């Protein structure tokens, strides 16, 4: 069968500033929570490798953009680092070196015919603002809006695709729900407040952007995890899956696309005495400033069943898991390295849900990819990693994206995570995701993997057989 994609389909990959750029002496960047946390607790990071050991995009972006071209990109997403652009939020002064760097990146991408997709926030709260409470503090919302406006003013003449956050649920889950990330809290009430402030910050940034009358569009990138009940005939399982979908997907998707929070989740939050502080003015801003374009990160589904034992609240307070059980489906396909289920049809179900329940919002796949440990094993005699598993992974997902398009989905592109192997939060370099290998022990030298050449071929043909 021939899988052809619509003309103008966006092909490329995604990355983020904090995971690729690195910090170099004299570049004027201030600390974000990752830089700080690594200094405090290096043991938290796989092999004690921290955010200072990146693929050095700050220095190597020219070469990297050439490599994007060589691997058939017509678009690329990264993020601006808030702590690089505005090192001291008290003065609000921009760092001229940061402006020069991002200008150069944007201009070089455009010169190569690669559309820059720019994200404003990828888990990287500036440390000075975290000291004031980070997303828990309402004032940080205004600081963020100032930062967003600064970005639009500086780069909005050339960047036509903006995103307010990448995966806003991650700072909630990581920082406030499970204690995985800084500030390592386990406090759902705080998590709800953080989610609310992120949604408000996003809507306010969208309002500013639209008022500036720039010719471009703005959206948000969400990681959507379709939730499947153990038994679709069992009402309690279905209810549990709906609850999980509400908490992890609709709590972010509904305000972004529909302008309000999902009623069932608001009712549950009230019942559990977790309501955030809100104002009617805020809610009006959220209602009036919805997104133009949605980025969908899809990696894995959630399998859910009704709670089998009575609800017990731990001493740490309520956790979502107190209200449902994870269903460990037998014989599911797994990525053994990352421990994530591979369920290709989930990408289609997600797109069809957007079509049917979210006004067929225009969207693109903003991340999808396969993290693999120990890829050196697959190096061939010419020094190239033969990552056929990645080619298969992407192909299998693209078939379902294609199917969704046939059925009317307005999905307009596919970005793989990621271009160069990059540093990734707690996992550091444990799982490699790139089209291009990075040799950390050898000046971060780059080598295109088999999947990179394959992708070039795919994008030249705008599809595959
Ligand atoms: C995505 C994030 O969810 O997952 C990225 O947006 C991250 O920032 C990627 O790097 C892979 O994560 P991990 O933990 O498997 O390395």
pLDDT digits (tens, 9 = 90+) for 236-284: 999 999 999 999 999 999 999 999 999 999 999 999 999 999 999 999 9
Atom number, ligand 1, closest to the C-alpha of residue 426 = 14
pLDDT value at 190 more than 80: yes
Strands 115-119 and 411-417: unpaired
Among 79, 418, 425, 431, which residue has the most ligand 1 atoms within 8 Å of its CB, making it the best to mutate? Answer: 425
Average pLDDT rounded to a whole number, residues 163-172: 99
pLDDT bucket at 18, cuts 50 / 70 / 90: very high
Tell me, what's the pLDDT at 313? 77
Q: What DSSP state is assigned to residue 63?
A: H
Determine the pLDDT at residue 312. 77
Does the beta carbon of 434 sit less than 6 angstroms from any atom of ligand 1? Answer: no
427 backbone dihedrals φ, ψ, rounded to 5°:
-80, -10
| Backbone dihedral angles phi then psi of residue 223, each to the nearest 5 degrees | -90, 115
167 lines ligand 1 (CB under 6 A): yes
CA–CA separation, 97 and 238 (whole Å): 53
Of 84, 81, 72, 95, which is closest to residue 13 (Cα–Cα)? Answer: 72
Is residue 316 scored above 80 in pLDDT? no
For range 441-454, the mean pLDDT: 97
CA of 21 to the centre of ligand 1 (A): 16
Q: What residue's CA is closest to ligand 1, atom 5?
A: 424
pLDDT at 257: 99
Q: Which atom of ligand 1 is least distant from the CA of 297?
A: 3
Tell me how far the alpha carbon of residue 288 lies from the centroid of ligand 1, in angstroms: 31
Best mutation site among 248, 421, 424 for ligand 1 pocket (most ligand atoms within 8 Å of CB): 424
> 171 CA to middle of ligand 1, Å?
13
Pocket flag, ligand 1, residue 173 (CB < 6 Å): no
User: Complex ipTM above 0.90?
Assistant: yes
pTM score, whole prediction: 0.98
Atom number, ligand 1, closest to the C-alpha of residue 430: 16
Q: What residue owns the CA closest to ligand 1's atom 7?
A: 424
Mean of per-residue pLDDT scores for the chain: 97
Question: What is the DSSP code string of 275-299?
Answer: PPP--HHHHHHHHH---SEEEEE--
Helix (H) or strand (E) holding 162: strand 161-166
Nearest-5° Cα angle at 96, 90 to 99 = 105
Average pLDDT over residues 445-462: 98
Tell me the CATH number of domain 3-464, given options 3.20.20.80, 3.40.50.620, 2.120.10.30, 3.40.50.720.
3.20.20.80
417 lines ligand 1 (CB under 6 A): yes
pLDDT value, residue 299? 98
**Which of 454, 405, 336 lies closest to 4, judged by CA?**
405
Q: How confident is the model at residue 315 (pLDDT cuts 50, 70, 90)?
A: confident
| DSSP bridge pairs for 413 | 10
Q: How confident is the model at residue 1 (pLDDT cuts 50, 70, 90)?
A: confident
Q: What percent of the chain is predicted at pLDDT more than 90?
A: 97
Measured distance CA(207)–CA(289) in Å, rounded: 6
Q: Which pLDDT band holds residue 377 (cuts at 50, 70, 90)?
A: very high
Q: DSSP letter string over 438-451?
A: EETTTTTEEEE-HH
pLDDT at residue 309, as a whole number: 84
Tell me the residue length of the chain.
465
Per residue in 216-241, pLDDT (tens digit) is 999 999 999 999 999 999 999 999 99
Ligand 1 centre to CA of 15 (Å) is 9
CA of 419 to the centre of ligand 1 (A): 13
User: Residue 320's pLDDT is what?
Assistant: 94
Report the distance separating Cα 405 and Cα 328, nearest Å: 31
Q: Is the CB of 459 inside a 6 Å radius of any atom of ligand 1?
A: no
Secondary structure element (H or E) that encloses residue 253, with its range:
helix 251-257
pLDDT at 202 over 80: yes
Q: Is 386 in the active site?
A: no
Closest CA to ligand 1's atom 10:
424
8-state DSSP, 260 = S
Write down the domain spans for the chain.
3-464
Residue 359 has pLDDT above 90, yes or no: yes
pLDDT of residue 164: 99
What separation in Å is there between the alpha carbon of 90 and the centre of ligand 1? Answer: 31
**Two tokens, residue 255:** 């305000």
Percent over 70 (pLDDT), the chain: 100
């Amino acid at each position: 069968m021939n899988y052809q994609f619509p003309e103008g389909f966006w092909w490329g990959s995604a990355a983020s500033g904090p995971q690729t750029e690195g910090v170099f002496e004299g570049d004027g960047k201030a600390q974000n929570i990752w830089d700080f946390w690594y200094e405090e607790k290096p043991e938290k990071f796989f092999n004690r490798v921290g955010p200072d050991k990146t693929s050095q995009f700050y220095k190597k972006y020219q070469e990297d953009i050439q490599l994007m071209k060589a691997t058939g990109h017509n678009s690329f997403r990264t993020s601006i680092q808030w702590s690089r652009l505005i090192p001291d939020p008290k003065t609000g002064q921009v760092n001229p070196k940061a402006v020069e760097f991002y200008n150069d990146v944007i201009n070089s991408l455009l010169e190569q015919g690669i559309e820059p997709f720019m994200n404003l926030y990828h888990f990287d709260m500036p440390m000075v603002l975290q000291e004031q409470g980070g997303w828990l503090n309402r004032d940080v919302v205004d600081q963020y809006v100032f930062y967003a406006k600064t970005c639009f003013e500086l780069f909005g003449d050339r960047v036509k695709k903006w995103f307010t956050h990448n995966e806003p649920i991650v700072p909630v889950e990581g920082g406030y729900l499970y204690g995985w990330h800084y500030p390592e809290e386990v406090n759902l009430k705080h998590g709800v407040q953080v989610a609310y402030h992120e949604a408000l910050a996003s809507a306010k940034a969208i309002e500013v952007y639209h008022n500036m009358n720039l010719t471009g569009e703005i959206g948000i990138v969400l990681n959507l995890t379709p939730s499947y009940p153990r038994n679709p005939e069992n009402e309690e399982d279905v209810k549990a899956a709906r609850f999980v979908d509400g908490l992890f997907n609709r709590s972010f998707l509904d305000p972004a696309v529909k302008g309000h929070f999902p009623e069932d989740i608001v009712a549950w939050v009230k019942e559990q005495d977790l309501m955030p502080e809100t104002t009617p003015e805020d809610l009006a801003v959220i209602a009036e400033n919805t997104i133009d374009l949605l980025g969908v990160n899809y990696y894995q589904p959630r399998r859910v069943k009704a709670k089998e034992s009575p609800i017990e609240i731990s001493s740490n307070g309520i956790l979502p898991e107190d209200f449902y059980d994870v269903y460990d489906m037998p014989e599911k396909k797994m990525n053994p390295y990352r421990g994530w289920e591979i369920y290709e049809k989930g990408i289609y179900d997600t797109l069809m849900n957007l079509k049917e329940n979210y006004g067929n919002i225009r969207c693109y796949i903003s991340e999808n990819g396969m993290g693999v440990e120990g890829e050196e094993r697959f190096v061939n005699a010419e020094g190239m990693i033969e990552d056929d598993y990645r080619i298969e992974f992407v192909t299998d997902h693209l078939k379902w994206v294609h199917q969704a398009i046939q059925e009317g989905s307005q999905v307009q592109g596919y970005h793989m995570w990621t271009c160069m192997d990059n540093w990734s939060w707690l996992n550091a370099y444990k799982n490699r995701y790139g089209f291009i290998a990075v040799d950390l022990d050898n000046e971060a030298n780059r080598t295109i993997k088999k999947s990179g050449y394959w992708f070039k071929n795919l994008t030249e043909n705008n599809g595959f057989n």
